[in-house]
Amino acid sequence: MSWRWLNASIAGTSHADGGIPCQDDCLVDVISGTSGEVLIAITSDGAGSAAHAEDGSALACESLYRAVADWAATGGPIDDLTREEVEAWVLCLRTAIEQRANETDASVRDFACTLVAAIVSEHVAAFLQIGDGAIVVGKDDVCEVVFWPDTGEYANMTFFTTDDDWQKHVLFEIRNAQFDDIALMTDGLQRLALHYDSRTPHVPFFAPMFGALQKAAAGFAVDFEPALVSFLGSAAVNERTDDDKTLVLATRRAAEEAHGDR
């Protein structure tokens, strides 16, 4: 296994002060697929106005992961993925939410959530997004934002997997490139991690974290998790945002590779 990864979701101060649980969720795994090693990284942000927002984001991550893992184990290479197949994954997610809504006598809208996902093999990656949040990819110390957060026409507005017109808001792209570093985030970190004027990543936000992660052993960097949680809950971050915060980081560079000793 070549990937090193780290992920965490924590409640924002506005939720913590009100006794509301974190409504973000995330999931990261590396599996063996028909095209080799595949990184699957997913984040979801439950709508603050949704009664079961935290369940919606958890269901989104779990359902999409199962669909992607099943496909990666039996399907073709990532660069053969079609929009129709990706929309079928979202339909599975929506079906899981509909079933949970029926079981709890709730509406589908009560589970409203965004979706951000990256599926990465050795030389190709697929990206999927509905709503806000962002994916940042890097290669050779150059990084970019895959999709700009989809916030719609008005401030504080976004789109959700549960929307009736969800298909209009599916952002999907395949890139034939070997990315070294991947980051996913929910909207709570957008203003800290992205430059809105140039629509580029704020490199000083990511560089120290990727640098630390490159020193970890392959797999989930459990020893670094407390530091990430502490950072997400720090005063410096909370002064900029009171929202829930999720960050996923993954790299396949070891520390010596990052310094050019290949």
Q: Is the pLDDT of residue 262 over 50?
A: no
Task: Read off the pLDDT of residues 111-151 as tens digits, 9 standing for 90 and up.
Answer: 999 999 999 999 999 999 999 999 999 998 789 999 999 98
Q: Is the pLDDT of residue 81 over 50?
A: yes
Reported pTM: 0.94
Q: Give the range with max mean pLDDT: 30-39, 67-76, 129-138, 149-158.
A: 129-138
Q: Is the pLDDT of residue 261 over 50?
A: no
CB-CB contact of 7 with 216 (8 Å)? no
Q: Is the pLDDT of residue 56 over 60?
A: yes
Query: 74 is written with which tokens?
Result: 């039996």
Give the chain's end-to-end CA distance (angstroms, integer): 17
- Confidence bin at 1 (pLDDT 50/70/90): low
Other beta carbons within 10 angstroms of residue 176's beta carbon come to 9
User: With b meaning 16 or more CB within 10 Å and e meaning fewer, what string describes 57-66?
Assistant: bbbbbbbbbe
Residue 257: the pLDDT is 58
Residue 155: the pLDDT is 63
Look up residue 120 and give its amino acid: V
Residue 138: the pLDDT is 95
Question: Whole-angstrom Cα distance, residue 158 to residue 86?
Answer: 20
* CATH, residue 112: 3.60.40.10
Q: Which of 253, 122, 227, 217 is nearest to 178 (CA)?
A: 122
Looking at the structure of the chain, the number of domains it has is 1
With tokens 């990430």, the residue in question is 228
Task: Read off the pLDDT of residues 213-255 as tens digits, 9 standing for 90 and up.
Answer: 999 999 999 999 999 999 999 999 999 999 999 999 999 988 7
DSSP letter for each residue of 114-133: -EEEEEE-SS-EEEEEESS-
Task: Read off the pLDDT of residues 159-182 as tens digits, 9 standing for 90 and up.
Answer: 999 999 999 999 999 999 999 999
Give me the helices (H) in the chain, please.
Answer: 13-17, 53-74, 83-103, 190-193, 203-213, 225-232, 235-238, 255-258
Q: Is the pLDDT of residue 99 over 90?
A: yes
C-alpha 108: how far from its chain's center? 22
Task: Read off the pLDDT of residues 186-215 as tens digits, 9 standing for 90 and up.
Answer: 999 999 999 999 999 999 999 999 999 999
Full domain range(s) for residue 224: 4-258
